[in-house]
Structure 1
C-alpha cells in the first residue's frame, strides 16, 4: 500500500510539472503571437497612411493650377491633423501630415505672392543669382538696368497696399480653418517683406553711396510691417 501511495504521489507530481511546463509554454508563446499581430497592424496602418496621401495627391491633380492644388491639399492635410488632435493621436502619422502641410504652405506662399509681385520677385531671384555667380568668378559683374529697377520701385509704391488687401481676402476665403488661414496669411506677408528687403539690398549694392532719384519712392519696411500687422493679428 505504501509503495502504491508513493507511486501515485509521484505520478501526480509529474503531471503537475507537465501542466506547469505547458502553461509556461503558452505564456511565452502569447506575447510572441501578439507581437506578430501588432507588427502586421502597424504595417497595415503605415500602408493606409501612404495610400491616403497618394489618394489626396491624385485628387489634387484634378485642379487646374498649382495654387489650387496647394489649397486643396492644405485644407485636407489640416483637416486630418485636426482629427488627430481631437483623438489625441501622436507619432509618425502626425509628423508625416505636418510635414506635408508645411511643404504645401511654402508652395502656396510663393504662388500667392506671384499674383501681385511677380516682376519684383523674378528680378530679386535673377539678380541675386547674378551677384552670386559674379562673386564666384563665373561671370562678369552683374549689370542692372536702371529703368527696370525704377519701374519696379514705383510699381510697388503704388500697388503694395491694394495687393496686401487682396492677399488677405484670398487667404481667408481659401481656407476653411480660420486658425490655419491666419498662420498662412502671416507666412505670406512675412515672405513679401523679406522679398522687398532683398530688393532694397540689391539697390544699395548697385548704387553704393550714390542713391538714385527714385530712392525717394522706396517704401520703408517699417511702414510695410505696420500695414501687415493690421491683417495678421498673430504677428
Structure 2
C-alpha cells in the first residue's frame, strides 16, 4: 500500500512538472528524488523480513513491478524515476533467475564459465584434445567433466523445464512479469547450451541434445519464447 501511494504521488508530481515546467516544479522533483531513495531503502528493509533470498527477490520484484506499472501509466519511459526502478527490477529479476536455475543447471553453467576462462587464457585446445601427449591430470578431468555434464544435461533438462514452469507459476501477481521472468530463465538455459557447444563441439555433437529440440520444448512451456 505504501509503495503504491508513493508511485501515485510520484506520477502526479512528474506529470505536473512535465506539463507545467517552472522553478517550483524543478524543486519538487529534487525533493522527489530524495523521497525515491527513501522508499527504495524502505523496500529493502521490508524485504529483509523474509527468511531467504528467493522470497526477498520475489517481494522486491513484485513491488518494483507495481511501482513501474503506475509510473509508466502517467510518465515517460525515460524519466529518472522509471529508469531507477527499471534498473532495480532488472537486477532482482536476474538474481532470482540465477537462483531458480542453480539447482538444475548451476554446475553446468559454472563449468562453461570456467572453460571460457581457459579459452581466454589460450588453454581451451588442451581441454578439447584428449590425445594431447603428456596431458595433465587436471586437463583430463576437465574434458571428462564436459562429457559428464553433457550426459547430466540430457538426462535432466526436460524435468528441469517442468520444474521452472511450476516455480514461477502463481508467484507474481502480474502475468506479464511471470512470463518475462520465465523467458529470462529459458533464455539463460539455451544461452549456456550454445556456449557449451562452442567450447566443446565434438562433445556437444556426440552427446548433447540438439538445441532446436530444446527450443521447441521451451516454446511448449512458454509460447511467447
Class of the TM-score when normalised by the shorter of the 2 chains: 0.7 to 0.9
Residue 131 of structure 1 aligns with which residue? 119
Residue in structure 2 matching 1:106, options 91, 94, 98:
94
Residue 223 of structure 2 aligns with which residue? 233
Whether contact under 8 Å (1:131, 1:141) holds in the other structure is no
Residue in structure 1 matching 2:61, options 47, 57, 74:
74
Matches of 1:131 and 1:117 in 2, distance apart? 21
Aligned-pair Cα RMSD in Å = 2.3
Matches of 1:223 and 1:55 in 2, distance apart? 45
Matches of 2:223 and 2:55 in 1, distance apart? 25
**2:30 counterpart of 1:58:** no
How far apart are residue 96 of structure 1 and its match?
A: 1.2
How far apart are residue 144 of structure 1 and its match?
A: 5.0
Residue 32 of structure 2 aligns with which residue? 45
How far apart are residue 190 of structure 1 and its match?
A: 0.9
**2:169 counterpart of 1:172:** yes
Matches of 1:198 and 1:124 in 2, distance apart? 7
Matches of 1:107 and 1:164 in 2, distance apart? 18
How far apart are residue 140 of structure 1 and its match?
A: 9.9
**2:85 counterpart of 1:97:** yes
- What is the TM-score of this pair, normalised by structure 2? 0.76
- Residue pairs, 1:1-235, within 5 angstroms: 35-86=22-73, 88-90=74-76, 91-134=79-122, 141-142=126-127, 143-145=139-141, 146-204=143-201, 211=202, 215-235=205-225
Structure 1 residues 193 and 154, CA gap change in structure 2 (3 angstroms): same
- What is the TM-score of this pair, normalised by structure 1? 0.73
How far apart are residue 107 of structure 1 and its match?
A: 1.7
Structure 1 residues 64 and 129, CA gap change in structure 2 (3 angstroms): farther
Structure 1 residues 144 and 226, CA gap change in structure 2 (3 angstroms): farther
| Structure 1 stretches lacking a partner, 5+ long | 1-33, 205-210
Matches of 1:144 and 1:113 in 2, distance apart? 27
How far apart are residue 45 of structure 1 and its match?
A: 1.1
